[in-house]
């Protein structure tokens, strides 16, 4: 229960924001909405608003959906035409499928974009209230015969950037090293006022993260310390807070895409991929450390949800956007047969991913 309750709170907020993005623009463009659901399966409780939308909470808290007026499964263009003709002229104005292409695209894209906005808002709040660490990354020790030692690192070097990512905090060094998928990591350091580049091939070791979970870590053999042993944490004004929030969201997004690309070609470690069980575990662990760490995890999960939903896989928002792109280019929608073919591929891809991350989750729990 210590893990389950924080996880349900987190996933409910993240999913609600995602679905509300769809809902807001659907309402703005006059699309009728019959259901706004958090979770799947049997309804636990719900209510109807004045517009006739059923707002409900369901038993399986692993997602949600917004159901548009007239949204039914049809298996041919003829059936779709018959469905449209079955509605009155007034009701047709509320049908999603009859809205202009740009409106449908905005409605679909609004869900993932809402997740990115949520992450930016959370990081901004954290930067303003808790502050952002701005402590320079000073090398206090270089282990003999380590990758850093071989590359030429020396004590009192100050790390300025890693793989062209500017190091603005001592806390970023480990993150940048471990998200890098390069065989050799590029470092820029300051040594007595001179800037020097190093290429370092890290070692891979089995270790523990800050929460005590087993992870594979990349290490280069250095120990860092703040200059004069003083950490510099600054509370940022709104403009700076937003700026650094945007940078963080961009870094997480670009790093995730880079990792995915490397994983597809077999050049990245897939053992760290996790699903709902791992997310629930981490959420429960982090929630014990206070509201700010909990919000931080929520922001990262929100980015992940938004990014995954933009993948061009049918059944995801990105899949619909892909179909709309074809429709714009061709001047017509893809045939029903072609769409069904893509949907089968998408379903296979999603089921394969679900199986893989569930296996990793169970393995992480020691069941395999």
Question: What local confidence, expressed as pLDDT, does residue 367 receive?
Answer: 57
Catalytic positions, please? 19
**pTM score above 0.85:** yes
Please state which of the four CATH numbers 2.60.40.420, 3.30.413.10, 2.30.42.10, 2.60.200.20 is assigned to the domain occupying 133-234: 2.30.42.10
Question: What local confidence, expressed as pLDDT, does residue 76 receive?
Answer: 55
> Phi and psi (nearest 5°) for 35?
-140, 140
312 burial via Cβ count (<10 Å: 0-12, 13-18, 19+): middle
Which residues lie below 8 Å from residue 360, measured CB to CB, with a gap of 6+? 270, 271, 272, 273, 274, 275, 278
Q: Are 158 and 138 in contact (CB under 8 A)?
A: yes
Give the CA dihedral 47, 116, 281, 353, nearest 10 degrees. 90
Strand partners, 204: 218
Between CA 196 and CA 200, with CA 198 as vertex, the angle to 5 degrees is 160
Give the CA dihedral 167, 169, 174, 179, nearest 10 degrees. -50
Q: How many CB atoms lie within 10 A of CB 308?
A: 18
Question: What local confidence, expressed as pLDDT, does residue 265 receive?
Answer: 75
Q: Cα–Cα distance between 54 and 5 in angstroms, integer?
A: 25
Between CA 238 and CA 243, with CA 240 as vertex, the angle to 5 degrees is 110
Q: How many CB atoms lie within 10 A of CB 226?
A: 15
Which residues lie below 8 Å from residue 184, measured CB to CB, with a gap of 6+? 199, 200, 201
| pLDDT tens track, the chain, 368 positions | 577 889 999 999 999 999 999 999 999 999 999 999 999 999 999 999 999 999 999 999 889 999 998 876 544 566 677 778 888 888 899 999 899 999 999 999 999 999 999 999 999 999 999 999 999 999 999 999 999 999 999 999 999 999 999 999 999 999 999 888 888 999 999 999 999 999 999 998 877 766 666 677 889 999 999 877 788 899 999 999 999 999 999 999 999 898 888 777 766 666 667 777 777 878 888 888 899 999 999 999 999 999 999 999 888 999 999 999 999 999 988 887 888 888 888 888 888 878 877 777 776 666 55
Q: Cα–Cα distance between 211 and 242 in angstroms, integer?
A: 28
Nearest alpha-carbon partner for 304 in 243, 246, 255, 245 = 255
Question: What local confidence, expressed as pLDDT, does residue 364 receive?
Answer: 67
Which tokens hold the place of 286?
A: 């982090």
What burial letters (b/e) apply to 345-357, b meaning 16+ CB within 10 Å?
Answer: ebeebbeeeeeeb
What are the residue ranges spanned by the domains of the chain? 4-29+99-129+302-364, 133-234
115 burial via Cβ count (<10 Å: 0-12, 13-18, 19+): buried
């Amino acid at each position: 229960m210590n893990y389950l309750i924080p996880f349900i709170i987190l996933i409910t907020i993240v999913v609600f924001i995602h679905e509300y993005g769809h809902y807001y623009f659907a309402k703005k463009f006059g699309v009728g909405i019959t259901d706004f659901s958090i979770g799947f399966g049997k309804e636990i409780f719900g209510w109807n608003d004045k517009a006739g939308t059923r707002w409900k909470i369901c038993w399986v808290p692993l997602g949600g959906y917004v159901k548009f007026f007239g949204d039914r499964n049809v298996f041919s263009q003829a059936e779709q035409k018959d469905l449209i003709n079955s509605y009155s002229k007034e009701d047709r104005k509320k049908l999603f499928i009859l809205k202009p292409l740009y409106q449908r695209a905005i409605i679909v894209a609004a869900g993932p974009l809402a997740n990115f906005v949520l992450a930016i808002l959370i990081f901004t709040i954290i930067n303003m209230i808790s502050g952002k660490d701005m402590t320079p990354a000073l090398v206090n020790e270089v282990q003999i015969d380590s990758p850093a030692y071989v590359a030429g690192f020396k004590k009192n070097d100050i790390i300025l950037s890693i793989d062209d990512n500017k190091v603005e905090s001592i806390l970023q060094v480990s993150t940048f090293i471990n998200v890098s998928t390069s065989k050799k990591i590029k470092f820029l350091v300051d040594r007595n006022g001179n800037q020097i580049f190093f290429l370092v091939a890290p070692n891979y070791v089995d270790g523990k993260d800050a929460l005590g979970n087993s992870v594979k870590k990349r290490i280069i053999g250095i120990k860092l310390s703040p200059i004069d042993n003083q950490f510099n944490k600054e509370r940022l004004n709104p403009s700076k807070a937003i700026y650094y929030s945007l940078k963080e969201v961009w870094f997480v997004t670009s790093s995730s895409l880079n990792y995915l690309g490397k994983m597809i070609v077999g050049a990245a470690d897939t053992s760290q991929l996790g699903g709902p069980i791992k997310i629930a575990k981490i959420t429960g662990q982090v929630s014990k450390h206070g509201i700010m760490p909990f919000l931080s995890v929520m922001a990262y999960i929100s980015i992940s949800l938004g990014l995954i939903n933009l993948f061009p896989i049918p059944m995801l928002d990105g899949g619909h956007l892909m179909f709309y792109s074809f429709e714009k280019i061709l001047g017509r929608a893809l045939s029903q047969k072609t769409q069904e073919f893509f949907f089968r591929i998408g379903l296979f891809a999603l089921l394969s991913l679900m199986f893989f991350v569930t296996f990793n989750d169970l393995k992480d729990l020691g069941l395999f």
